[in-house]
Chain A
Amino acid sequence: MALTNRSKTATVRELTWSEKLYLPAIFKGMLITFSHLFKRTPTIKYPDVKREMAPVYRGQHVLKRDEAGAERCTACGLCAVACPAEAITMESAERKKGEENLYREEKYASIYEINMLRCIFCGLCEEACPKEAIFLTDRIVPSSFTRGEEVFGKDKLVETTESPIDVTLRQRPEVLEFKKDKRHYHNRTFKDAKPQINKHH
C-alpha cells in the first residue's frame, strides 16, 4: 500500500544503451547543480546580520533592577524550585544598613547562578518569580571555551543601571495589571515601601 503518491517501485533491469553512455545522466546532474547558481542562499551571516526573533523568544536570563536601581531579587528560591532542569542555585544574605539603594528587600541573593548548559529555556522561573525579578530575553547565550564559563553568575545576569534590558515584551497586560496592585508588598517600589517599614517599627 502506498502511503504517499511519491513512492516509486524499484526494479533491477539492464541499462539501456543511452543510460550506459552515462553522459545524459551526467549532463542532467550538471544542470541540477547549475540551477543552484541562481538560488538564494538561506544563510544569515550571524554576527553581522541578526535573525529576527519571535516576540516571545526565550533566551538568556536577566535579573532586573527596579526603578531606583535596586536589585529586585529577594532570593526566595521559587525559581529554583520551579526549574525543571535544576539549573538555578542561589545563596541568600541579609541586607545591611546603607545598602537600601542596592537591594530592594531586606533579603537578597548574594550568589545567584544559572547553569546555561542545564537550562532548557522553558521560562518557568520567570513565571514563578513573585518579584518580577527574573526575565528571559531575546539575547542568545554566547558560546564559551569551557563548561565553567557557562555557569552565569550575578555579574552576567544582573542588568546594569546604565543599560537596562527591555523586557516589556515579556510583560503581558495581565502581568502589568498585577504589578500596579500596591496591596501586594512586593509590588511597591523601594520608595513606596520605606514609610511602611518605619510604621511597623
Chain B
Amino acid sequence: MDAMLIYKLILCVIVFVVSLGMAAYMTWGERKLAAILQDRVGPDRAGPLGLLQPIADGVKMFMKEEMLPGKSNRFLFILGPCLFMVTACMTGAVIPWGSGITIDGVLYPMQITDINIGLLYLLGVVSIGVYGIMIGGWASNNKYSLLGALRASSQMISYEVAMGLSLIALVMMTGTLSLGEISRQQDAGLANVVYQPLGFLIFIICAFAETNRAPFDLPECESELVGGYHTEYSSMKLGLFLFAEYINMFISSAVMATLYWGGYNFPFQHELGLDGNTLAILQTVALFAKIVIFIFIFMWVRWTLPRFRYDQLMHLGWRVLLPLSLANIFITGIVMYLMGKLN
C-alpha cells in the first residue's frame, strides 16, 4: 500500500509539472499560432523558433514590481489569484491519463484518484474557480475590475447550467460519474461523441465560456475594461491569473477528450498486440494528441471570432444553450427508452 501512496504522490507531482509546462508552452503556442494565422512571424528571438520565450516571460513576470493598490483588501487581493490557480491545478486530479502500468503484478492506474463522483468533483472545483476571479476583482477596489469580476461570475454561472445539463445526458448514457469508468466504456464501444454530438457541441461552447476564452472573454476585455478583473494586478499575481487560464484550457481540453472523444483510447489499440505497459504509454501519447488538437481549436477560435456583446452572451447561454441541453436530455431519454436500455 505504501508503494501505491508513493506512486500517487509522484503522479501528483508529474501531473502538476506537466500542467504548468503545458500552460507555459501554450502561451508560446498561442502567440505563435496567432502570428501564423495573421501572416506574421511571432516570437522567434529567444531560442530556436522562440521556444525559450515562456522562460523569458516567466522571468519577466517574477522581476516585475509587486504593486498593491492602496485601498484594496490586502488579504483577499492576494487570495484571488491563489484560489484561481489552486482550483485550476486541482481539476487535473480526476483525469485518467492512461489505462495503467503493471509493475510486479500490481496495477498502477494512471489517474491520481478515480472517485466515483469524478464529474461532480470537476464541476464543483470549476465553480470554485470563479471565486478566485470574483474575490480578485472585488478586492482590487477598482470599477473596471469589479465590472470584469461581475461579468466573469455571471457568465460562468450562466454557462455552468448548460454545461451541467449537457453532462447529464452523458451520465444518463454511461450510467456513471467516474471519469475512469467513462474512459473504459469508450474502450469497449465507440467514442461518446458519436452518441452525443449535440451534447459535445454544448459542452465545448460552455468550456470556452468557462475558461473565459474568446469569443467569451468579456471579463478580461482590454478595450472596455482595461483588462477586467486583473487590471490592478502586477508581477506574478497577474502571471498566476494568466497562467491559471491556460491550465484551465489544458484541463478542459483533457476533460473534453476524456468525456467525448474516447479519452486515452485510440482506434485498434488492442489489435497492435502490445504489452500493457507500452500500450499505456501510447495511450497517454494519444490523449495528449487529442488535448493538443483541442487546445489548437481553442486558439484557432480565439483568432477567428470577435467578442460577444454582453446581451448576446446572456441570450446564448440562457435562451439557446439551456433549452438545447434540456432537449438533448429529452432526446437521449427517448432514444434510450426505445432501445430498451432503461429498466
Contact = CB atoms under 8 A, between A and B. Distances in A.
Contact of A37 (B37, B40, B41, B301): B37
A32 B303 CA distance: 11
A30 B39 contact: no
A36 interface: yes
Interface residues of B, number: 13
B41 A43 contact: yes
- Majority secondary structure of chain B interface residues (helix, strand, loop or mixed): loop
A39 B305 CA distance: 20
A36 B305 contact: no
B39 A33 contact: no
A29 B305 contact: yes
A29 B304 contact: yes
A36 B38 contact: yes
Contact of B305 (A26, A34, A42): A26
B300 A30 contact: yes
B325 to A, nearest CB: 16
Given A26-B305, A29-B305, A43 B300 contact: no
A39 B39 contact: yes
A17 to B, nearest CB: 14
Which of A33, A34, A37, A39 is packed against the most chain B CB atoms within 10 Å? A33
A36 B300 CA distance: 11
Contacts of A45: 41, 44
Interface string B288-303: 0000000000001101
A34 B40 CA distance: 14
A37 B38 CA distance: 9
Interface string B205-239: 00000000000000000000000000000000000
A43 B35 CA distance: 11
A41 interface: yes
Interface in A54-113: none
Contacts of B39: 36, 39, 41-42
Given A43-B41, A45-B41, A34 B36 contact: no
A39 B44 CA distance: 18
A41 B41 CA distance: 7
Interface string A173-196: 000000000000000000000000
Interface in B1-55: 35-41, 44
A38 B336 CA distance: 44
Contact of A41 (B40, B300, B304): B40
Interface in B132-153: none
A37 B305 CA distance: 16
Contacts of A36: 36-39
Interface in A1-57: 26, 29-30, 32-34, 36-37, 39, 41-43, 45
Nearest to B38: A36
Nearest to A36: B37
Contacts of A33: 37, 300, 303-304
Nearest to A26: B305
B249 to A, nearest CB: 17
B39 to A, nearest CB: 5
Nearest to A23: B201
A33 B38 CA distance: 8
Given A36-B36, A37-B36, A30 B304 contact: yes
A30 B301 contact: yes
Nearest to A27: B304
A42 B41 CA distance: 9
Which of B38, B41, B303, B304 is packed against the most chain A CB atoms within 10 Å? B304
Contacts of A42: 39
Interface of B: 35-41, 44, 300-301, 303-305
8 contacts: A26-B304, A29-B305, A30-B304, A33-B304, A34-B300, A36-B36, A45-B41, A45-B44
Please name the 10 residue pairs, one residue from A and one from B, whose CB atoms are nearest each other, closest first.
A33-B304, A43-B41, A33-B37, A30-B304, A36-B37, A29-B304, A41-B39, A41-B41, A39-B39, A37-B36
